A and B are shown apart, each in its own frame.
Chain A
Amino acid sequence: MNPGRSIILGRIREALRNNPAPRPHTAHSQAEASSENHGHAQRQWLPKVGETLPERIDLFAKISEGLKTEFHRVPTIAAARDLLKQLAAEEGWKKIASHSHHDTDALLEGIGLPVVRTDKGYAIDDLESCDAGVTGCEVLVAQTGGIMVSVESAGGRALSVLPPHHVVIARTDQMVADLTAAFNHVKRAYGKQFPSFMSFITGPSRTGDIERILVLGAHGPKRLTVLLVD
Chain B
Amino acid sequence: MATQASDFQTLSRRYTADKPFRAFIQKALGGYYKKRDENKANFQDWQGARDLAAETKYEAVNHLDSYLLEFEAKITARGAKVFWAPNAEAAREYILKVAKENGVRSIIKSKTMTSEEIHLNDALEKQGYGVFESDLGEYIVQLRKEAPFHLVFPAMHLTRRQISDLFQKELGSQATDEPEELTMIARDVMRRKYCEADMGISGTNFAVAETGMISITENEGNARLTTSLPKIHIALLGIEKVLPKLEDLSLFLPMLATAGAGQTMTCYNTLYAGPRQPGEPDGPEQMHIVLLDNRRTELLADAEQRDALGCIRCGACLNVCPIFKNVGGYSYGTTYGGPIGSVITPHLRGLKDWKHLSAASSLCGACTEACPVKIDLHHHLLQNRRNGAKASPSPAEKLAFGGFSLLMGHPALYRLAVVLGRIFQPLQVLVNGTILDPLRAWTGSRNFPTLAPKSFHEEWKKERGGHK
Contact = CB atoms under 8 A, between A and B. Distances in A.
A51 interface: no
Contacts of A211: 28, 156, 159-160, 179
A121 B374 CA distance: 46
Contacts of B90: 4
A38 B376 CA distance: 25
Most buried by A among B46, B228, B276, B291: B228
A146 interface: yes
Given A13-B65, A45-B43, A194 B213 contact: yes
Given A180-B250, A207-B183, A151 B283 contact: yes
Contacts of A155: 281
Nearest to B47: A27
A16 interface: yes
B155 interface: yes
Interface string B288-332: 000101000100110110110000000000000000000000000
Interface stretch (B241-249, B404-412, B425-433, B437-445): B241-249
B84 A4 contact: yes
Interface residues of A, number: 89
Contacts of A157: 224, 227-228, 282-283
Interface stretch (A18-26, A88-96, A103-111): A18-26
Given A7-B86, A33-B55, A196 B183 contact: no
Nearest to A14: B301
Contacts of B293: 4, 7-8, 11
B52 interface: yes
Given A32-B55, A145-B264, A156-B282, A5 B84 contact: yes
B280 interface: yes
B241 to A, nearest CB: 14
A124 interface: yes
Interface string B57-76: 01101101100110000000
A115 interface: no
Interface residues of B, number: 106
Q: Is the interface of A mostly helix, strand, loop or mixed?
A: loop
Interface in A193-208: 194-208
B254 interface: yes
A215 interface: yes
Interface string B259-289: 0010111111111111111001111000000
Contact of B224 (A2, A143, A179, A199): A199
A160 to B, nearest CB: 8
Contacts of A156: 228, 280-283
B55 to A, nearest CB: 3
Contacts of A180: 247, 250
Interface in A62-115: 63, 66-67, 99
A21 B307 contact: yes
Given A7-B293, A67-B264, A215-B180, 17 more contacts: A5-B84, A24-B307, A33-B56, A42-B251, A44-B45, A46-B251, A121-B281, A121-B282, A143-B254, A187-B246, A196-B272, A197-B280, A200-B268, A201-B267, A210-B183, A219-B187, A219-B222
Interface of A: 2, 4-5, 7-9, 11-16, 19-28, 30, 32-34, 38-39, 41-42, 44-48, 63, 66-67, 99, 118-122, 124-125, 128, 143-146, 151, 155-158, 161-162, 178-180, 183, 187, 194-213, 215, 217-221
Interface of B: 28-29, 31-32, 42-52, 54-56, 58-59, 61-62, 64-65, 68-69, 78, 83-86, 90, 134-137, 140, 153-156, 158-160, 163, 179-180, 182-184, 187, 190-191, 195, 211, 213, 219-222, 224-225, 227-229, 239, 245-251, 253-254, 261, 263-277, 280-283, 291, 293, 297, 300-301, 303-304, 306-307, 374, 376
